[in-house]
């Protein structure tokens, strides 16, 4: 009897093992898993992302009396998209996986060539390839001009290679390059034109350097002037002479063709400085605007279409729009440029609020006429001459902060000083933020902090009184222009007096880049009523700030007319 009982119990134990659940089939399409199985209900199901079946955790635990089970696993965060599962009645079945010979194998980000964003995994699910960096736009430009005074392209490349780490460390991601027309195309009127291919090769090497260092470039195309124009090109009337201007368009088409492989690295632009005319070719602002609408103001449409489509092209205005000199725009309608660029010099005596207000006025001149076209501050700077490093740092930082606040790209002029003439040559004006010995001025750290988002304590403004020290007349303009040196200049106006009677109204001022002098145009070339025709005449001038302060009077002698 005892033996029979033992035999019965042993048989029950054997039958229990035989009755363990068995998975008989599975399908996995997209995120939907269906399992079929045999055994004695009720059944317990465990689905997880590892093989630890029966342990706490996993994606799903379920109880059912049915011999098939279907579930959508789209809720499960499982980058490998492989699930492990088993079924239990009295004991757990063999562990199965969704990765079978006939099952879908999800792809990977690497296999698809994606390094960011979400993408389809090829099996009905998605995979996350990381956060995408937004594309670089003109609003992201944080640039400084690198003008290697007197150097060849090859020398500039060497100096840039050495300097680029410091430029990037200061927070800049773009460099403005100066490429004189005469250097790249010395004889544009010759047949055939002989381009300086060695210089183009060197330029491409510099652009490759930028690309490898995740930097961008701004290139101004129309660098020429009296004494450094290409052979046969009159720097005083090249926009007024169709033959000369056509030579420029041909040159720029060749230029862009030489660097087209770097079109995603380069922003090119044309600029109005130097198109005012000289040596008898002078034009009034209205005349200049008319000329430019037919030439530089319509430049993108004059390029071969295949090149025009590749490049982001800007229009950099120095006076006609930036300073409001012309009532009509120099840009042809409809606008064909991808971005516009304004100037912000002569703000050395302004405090923070005054700088913001002045930049608002200048920006509005562009944005009111071209609200859909991105704007950058393409040139700005302040002089550090005569120990004014603190003033330079304050003004440069404030303009950078204004640009960032208003989502404008910007370019500071400039990085390197002009050797031996930094504070005497008008083209340099003490604007460099690096000392002659290569050490940074205070402005470098201030700009770096501004770009990184750190805000400074307000600078203490010690503004000198508004004082005129000397003046004179320039008769090459129509009407004649008056200049006056001194200190403490802000935006404002001048008044002219003839025997204590005012001649004309409030005459708008133009402030020099370094803030050391102002200029304005006389009401007319006709002699004021108190002057005798044919004889020289002394007049008095006075300057008034926009904030209301007035200067002393100084005398100016007008030539006989």
Q: How far does CA 280 lie from the centroid of its chain?
A: 38
More confident residue, 159 or 561: 159
Whether 400 contacts 411, CB under 8 Å = no
228 and 143 share one domain: yes
Number of Cβ atoms within 10 Å of the Cβ of 535: 11
DSSP state of 525: S
pLDDT in tens, 138-171: 999 999 999 887 777 888 899 999 999 999 999 9
The SS3 of residue 164 is helix
492 and 435 share one domain: no
290 and 346 share one domain: yes
pLDDT in tens, 446-459: 999 999 987 656 55
Report the DSSP beta bridge partners of residue 223: none
More confident residue, 328 or 1: 328
393 and 514 share one domain: no
Mean pLDDT of the chain: 88
To the nearest 10°, report the CA torsion of 360, 364, 365, 367: 140
182 and 279 share one domain: yes
- CATH (domain of 38): 2.60.40.10
Q: Confirm whether 200 is domain-assigned.
A: yes
Phi-psi region of 106 (alpha: psi -120 to 50; beta: other; left: phi over 0): beta
Q: What's residue 560's pLDDT? A: 76
Q: How far does CA 188 lie from the centroid of its chain?
A: 31
Domain count of the fold of the chain: 3
Q: What's residue 14's pLDDT? A: 42
The structure's pTM equals 0.69
Q: If you average pLDDT over residues 379-405, what whole number do you get?
A: 93
Asked which of 109, 124, 154 is the last residue of a domain, the reply is: 109
81 and 202 share one domain: no
Tell me the C-alpha distance between 417 and 437, whole Å.
Answer: 10
Q: Confirm whether 53 is domain-assigned.
A: yes
142 and 42 share one domain: no
- Range from 229-243, 291-305, 368-382, 511-525 carrying the lowest mean pLDDT: 511-525
DSSP state of 216: E
Q: What's residue 104's pLDDT? A: 63
Q: If you average pLDDT over residues 485-511, what whole number do you get?
A: 85
For residue 372, pLDDT beyond 90: yes
Q: What's residue 12's pLDDT? A: 41
62 and 193 share one domain: no
184 and 82 share one domain: no
Which residue matches tokens 């594309």? 135
Q: Confirm whether 483 is domain-assigned.
A: yes
Q: Confirm whether 124 is domain-assigned.
A: no
368 and 508 share one domain: no
- Range from 234-243, 295-304, 345-354 carrying the lowest mean pLDDT: 345-354
The range of the structural domain enclosing residue 359 comes to 138-452
């Amino acid at each position: 009897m005892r033996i029979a009982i033992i035999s019965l119990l042993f048989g029950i134990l054997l039958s229990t093992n035989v009755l363990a659940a068995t998975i008989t089939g599975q399908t996995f399409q997209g995120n939907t898993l269906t399992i079929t199985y045999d055994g004695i209900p009720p059944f317990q199901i465990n689905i997880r992302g590892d093989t630890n079946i029966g342990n706490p955790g996993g994606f799903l635990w379920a109880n059912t009396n049915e011999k098939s089970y279907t579930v959508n696993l789209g809720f499960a965060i499982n980058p490998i998209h492989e699930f492990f599962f088993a079924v239990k009645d009295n004991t757990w079945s063999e562990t199965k996986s969704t990765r079978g010979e006939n099952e879908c194998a999800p792809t990977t980000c690497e296999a698809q060539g994606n390094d960011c964003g979400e993408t389809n995994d090829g099996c009905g699910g998605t995979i996350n390839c990381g956060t995408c960096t937004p594309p670089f736009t003109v609003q992201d430009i944080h640039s400084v001009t690198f003008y290697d005074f007197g150097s060849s392209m090859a020398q500039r490349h060497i100096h840039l290679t050495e300097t680029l780490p410091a430029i990037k460390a200061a927070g800049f991601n773009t460099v403005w390059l100066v490429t004189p027309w005469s250097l790249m195309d010395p004889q544009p009127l010759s047949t055939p034109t002989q381009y300086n291919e060695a210089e183009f090769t060197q330029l491409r090497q510099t652009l490759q350097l930028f690309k490898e260092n995740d930097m961008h470039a701004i290139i101004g195309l129309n660098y020429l002037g009296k004494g450094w124009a290409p052979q046969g090109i009159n720097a005083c009337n090249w926009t007024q002479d169709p033959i000369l201007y056509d030579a420029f368009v041909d040159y720029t088409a060749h230029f862009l063709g030489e660097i087209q492989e770097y079109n995603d690295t380069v922003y090119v632009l044309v600029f109005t400085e130097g198109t005012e005319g000289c040596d008898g070719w002078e034009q009034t602002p209205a005349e200049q605007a008319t000329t430019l609408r037919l030439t530089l103001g319509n430049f993108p449409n004059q390029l071969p279409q295949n090149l025009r489509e590749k490049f982001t092209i800007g229009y950099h205005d120095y006076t006609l729009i930036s300073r409001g000199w012309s009532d009509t725009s120099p840009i042809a309608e409809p606008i064909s440029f991808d971005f516009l660029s304004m100037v912000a010099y002569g703000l050395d005596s302004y405090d923070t609020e005054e700088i913001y207000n002045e930049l608002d006025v200048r920006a509005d001149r562009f944005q009111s006429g071209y609200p859909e076209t991105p704007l950058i501050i393409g040139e700005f700077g302040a002089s550090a001459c005569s120990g004014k490093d603190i003033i330079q740092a304050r003004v440069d930082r404030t303009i950078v902060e204004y640009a960032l606040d208003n989502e404008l790209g910007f370019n500071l002029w400039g990085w390197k000083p002009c050797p031996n003439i930094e504070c005497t040559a008008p083209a340099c004006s003490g604007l460099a933020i690096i000392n002659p010995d290569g050490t940074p001025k205070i402005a470098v750290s201030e700009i770096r902090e501004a770009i990184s988002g750190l805000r400074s304590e307000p600078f203490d403004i010690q503004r000198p009184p508004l004082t005129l020290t000397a003046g004179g007349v320039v008769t090459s303009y129509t009407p004649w222009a008056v200049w006056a040196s001194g200190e403490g200049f802000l935006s404002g106006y001048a008044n002219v007096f003839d025997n204590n009677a005012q001649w004309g109204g409030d005459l708008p001022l133009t402030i020099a880049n370094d803030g050391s002098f102002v200029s304005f145009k006389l009401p007319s070339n006709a002699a004021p009523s108190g002057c005798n025709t044919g004889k020289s005449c002394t007049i008095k001038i006075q300057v008034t700030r926009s904030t209301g302060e007035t200067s002393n009077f100084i005398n100016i002698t007008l030539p006989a007319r």
